[in-house]
Amino acid sequence: MIPVIALVGRPNVGKSTMFNRLTRSRDAIVANYSGLTRDRKYGEVQLDDHRFILIDTGGISGEEEGIDTVMAGQSLQAIEEADIVLFMVSARDGLTAADYMIAKELRQRGKKTYLVANKIDGMDPDIALAPFYELGLGEVFATTATHGRGVKSMVESVLEQIPPAAEPEQEPAPKGIKMAIVGRPNVGKSTLVNRMLGEDRVVVYDLPGTTRDSIYIQYERFGKAYTIIDTAGVRRRKNVSLAVEKFSIVKTLQAIGDANVVILVIDASEGVVEQDLHLMGTVIEQGRALVVALNKWDGLEDSHKQYVKNEIDRRLRFVDFANIHYISALHGTGVGDLYKSVEQAYQSATDKMSTSFLTQILQDAVSEHQPPMINGRRIKLRYAHAGGNNPPVIVVHGNQTAKVPAHYVRYLEKTFRRALNLRGTPVRVEFKSSE
Ligand code: GDP
Ligand code: GDP
C-alpha cells in the first residue's frame, strides 16, 4: 500500500508551498474535491523510487476553541488518514503557543510525527532550530520550501522510517478479478455493491490497517471467483471510527491502485462532472482497466436519454477504450452486463502477448507509416516484446527511440490496441534504444 503523508501546522508556515513543490512533477491528481474536503488537497508524489500520497491541510491556527475543535474537521481527517504527519513550523517565527498546542495534540494521537522547521533561509540553523527541540518530537528537519533546500533529504529520512507494509496474516489473498467500485458520494456505489453481491455467499476480508482501508469482499458468481474492493463501506467493519467520513479520497486512490478493473460509477441524473473526470484521469494514470457505469438511468425521462448519451459520449471520448453501461443499481437493470465488460477488460489487460506477434504488428505499422527522419536519419523501430500486464506494456526496440514524436507513439498505441483487440484497458508503448 502506498504511504500517506499529511502536512499539518499553523497557517502561513509554508504547507502549501511544500505541497506544491513536492507534487510539482506530476499535477496533483485529485485536487479540490470541493464540498467534500473543503480544505484538503491531495496529491501524488513521485520522488526517485518513492511514491506516496500527500495531503495538504488548510491549517490549524491554535485559536480554535477547546481541544476538540483544535483538531476537529479537516485536519483531524487528514491525520487519521495519514501514516505519517509532517508537522510544519516556521523557523522565522520561532516557537509559538499554537505550535505547542498542536504538538501536544499530535503526541496524544500517537501518530508518527516529524517536525519540519521551514523558512530556514537566511537564518543560522543552530540558533533557529534550538527552541523547537522543546516540543519533544525528536529531530528537527530544516527546510526552505520556496527553494527546495532540505526538502528531499527530509522526505527521504521520513520515508526510510516507514516499516514495510504488514502482510495480511492468515488470510489467503483474495481470489478472482479484483474490482474496485469507485465514484463520488451518493452516485450509488453502495447500492451497486449490494446489487452485485445479491444473495451470494460472501467472504469479507477485513485487511489489517487503518479505517481508511477498503473492505475486500470475495464471492462467487456462476462458479467464478470475484473480489469487490468496497470503498463505500457497505459491509462495514465494526468499530469503524465515525470521524472518518464515508467517502475518503485516500481510500479511493488505494482501491484504484490495488484493483485489476475499476468500475467507475457516475450519476447519470447529474451528468459527468469534474470530479468524475479527475477519477477517470487517475485510473488511466495508474493503468487500471476501466468500466464506466452511468447509474440512476431509471430516473431519466425517455425523451432525454438520447441527448444525455450523446453528451456523455462526447465528454468521455478520451476514455473511448472503456465500455460505458447505462444502469440502474436500484432496480438491477444492466448490472449483470457489467460483468461482461469486466471480464473483457481483465482479459485485455492480462492476456499474454507473444514477441513474434508484437514484432509483426510493429513492422506492419512501420511499413504502413514510416517514423519521421531526425537530422537526416530515419528512426528505426525493429522489434517489440511484452513488458508487463494490467496495464499491458509493449516495449519497442530500435534506434533514436527517444526522438519518436508523440503523435507516432499514439499511432503505435492505436495500432497495437486494434491488432491485439484490447478493450477496456489503457495500453502503454515504451521504447528501448540500441544506441
Ligand atoms: P500555508 O498557509 O502553511 O500553506 O503557507 P504557504 O505555503 O501559503 O506560505 C505562506 C508564505 O510563506 C508564502 O508567502 C510563502 O511564499 C512563504 N514561504 C513558504 N515557504 C517559505 C520558505 O521556505 N522561506 C521563506 N522565506 N518563505 C516561505
Ligand atoms: P454511495 O454514496 O455512492 O454509496 O451511494 P448510495 O448507494 O448510498 O446511493 C445514494 C442514493 O442514490 C440512495 O438514496 C440510493 O437509493 C440512490 N440510488 C442508488 N442507485 C440508484 C439508481 O439506480 N436509481 C435511482 N433512482 N436511485 C439510486
pLDDT at residue 199 is higher than 90 = no
Q: Is 21 in the pocket of ligand 1 (CB under 6 A)?
A: no
Averaged pLDDT for residues 405-411: 94
**Among the atoms of ligand 1, which is closest to the Cα of residue 20?**
7
Q: Which helix (H) or strand (E) holds 158?
A: helix 151-160
- Band (pLDDT 50/70/90 cuts) for residue 209 is very low
By the 8 A CB rule, do 328 and 195 touch?
no
pLDDT at residue 77 is higher than 80 = no
- Band (pLDDT 50/70/90 cuts) for residue 207 is low
DSSP letter, residue 248 = -
* Residue from 408, 415, 339, 349 nearest 374 by CA: 408
* pLDDT, position 364: 96
Residue 188 annotated as binding site? yes
pLDDT at residue 370 is higher than 90 = yes
Residue 8 grid coordinates: 499539518
The reported pTM is 0.74
**Among the atoms of ligand 1, which is closest to the Cα of residue 13?**
3
Q: Whose CA is nearest to atom 18 of ligand 1?
A: 14
- How many C-beta atoms lie closer than 10 Å to residue 168's C-beta? 15
By the 8 A CB rule, do 106 and 67 touch?
no
Burial of 357 (0-12, 13-18, 19+ CB in 10 A): middle
119 Cα–ligand 2 center, Å: 48
**Which positions ≥6 away from 203 have C-beta within 8 Å?**
217, 218, 219
**Residue whose CB lies within 8 A of the most ligand 1 atoms, among 146, 147, 154, for a mutation test:** 146
Q: Is 57 in the pocket of ligand 1 (CB under 6 A)?
A: no
Kindly report the average pLDDT of the chain as a whole number.
84
* pLDDT, position 431: 94
Residue 271 annotated as binding site? no
Averaged pLDDT for residues 120-149: 94
pLDDT tens profile 26-37: 444 444 433 333
Residue 247 grid coordinates: 467517502
pLDDT at residue 324 is higher than 50 = yes
Please name which ligand lies nearest the alpha carbon of 10.
1
Averaged pLDDT for residues 84-100: 94
Residue 233 annotated as binding site? yes
- Weakest mean pLDDT among 67-71, 106-110, 293-297: 67-71
- Band (pLDDT 50/70/90 cuts) for residue 131 is very high
DSSP letter, residue 270 = T
Three-state DSSP class for residue 378: strand
Q: Provide the strand spans (E) within 67-184.
A: 84-90, 112-118, 140-142, 177-182
* pLDDT, position 180: 96
Query: Residues with Cβ within 6 A of ligand 2?
Result: 183, 185-191, 232, 295-296, 298-299, 328-330
pLDDT tens profile 286-304: 899 999 999 999 999 998 8
* Residue from 132, 110, 113, 123 nearest 150 by CA: 123
- Weakest mean pLDDT among 8-12, 263-267, 323-327: 8-12
- How many C-beta atoms lie closer than 10 Å to residue 422's C-beta? 23
223-251 in b/e form (b: 16+ CB < 10 A) is eeebbbbbbbbbbeeeeeeeebeebbbbb
Residue 131 annotated as binding site? no
16 Cα–ligand 1 center, Å: 7
CA separation for the pair 227, 180 (Å, rounded)? 8
Three-state DSSP class for residue 226: strand
Strands 393-399 and 428-433: parallel
**Which positions ≥6 away from 205 have C-beta within 8 Å?**
168, 171, 174, 215, 216, 217, 218, 227
Complex ipTM: 0.74
Residue 177 annotated as binding site? no
